[in-house]
Amino acid sequence: RQPMGVVGVIAPWNYPVQLALAPAITALAAGNRVMLKPSELTPHTSAQLALLVAQFFAPDVFCVVQGDANLSALFASLPFDHLVFTGSTAVGRKVAQAAAQNLTPTTLELGGKSPCIIDGHCDMQDAALKIAHGKLLNAGQTCIAPDYVLLPRGREGEFAPAYRAAVVRLFPTIEGHADYASIITPRHHARLRPMLQQPQPPGAE
């Protein structure tokens, strides 16, 4: 909201345009200069951002820095006047520690757990549709996507079929649809697959 000097922005991969440009725009509008470090997991988007920003801004006003996780660590250690980071709690800790060496003020937007609470008077079909939308948007790759549902005892049996119907309504074809989002990398996909089997041995359905 005010000019502080040079603002660093470290953007995540799950919303590589929005979460790169929104903090950059607000920093510029307040009279700051900006250095942006987009995610290395979205190289084509990052390259396009660098190209477009260089067309319209002098490099000492707004620039895009591309590179891997090592460069991100170096970027976080620069003596910015303010540093903005969006991403995981684990990486956020490292960013905060690096920024602390320079007493750099930081804004951290970190992922966490997001429960959905369904009360006894709720329309289960409506709730399930809204929860499915929030959970599956961007292939579930959203930091505030619902993680679990809390509902009145005795109504557990209503939620599962309502949620299943909501998913089918939102995603009528399961595979091969060009408009569906994908999991960002094979490594992330491999991490998710075992989670499908994880609850079964303890007896979960």
Let me know if 109 is a catalytic residue: yes
CB 183 within 8 A of CB 139: yes
β pairing state of 148-150 and 82-87: unpaired
Q: Which residue has the tokens 């390259």?
A: 47
- Which value, in Å, is the radius of gyration of the alpha carbons in the chain? 20
Active-site residue (options: 116, 122, 143, 158): 143
Q: Which residues does residue 62 pair with via DSSP β-bridges, in sequence order? A: 34
Q: Which residues does residue 63 pair with via DSSP β-bridges, in sequence order? A: 35
Q: Is 9 exposed, middle or buried (0-12, 13-18, 19+ CB in 10 A)?
A: buried
Active-site residue (options: 40, 109, 116, 122): 109
CB 83 within 8 A of CB 95: yes
Let me know if 40 is a catalytic residue: no
Return the active site residues. 109, 143
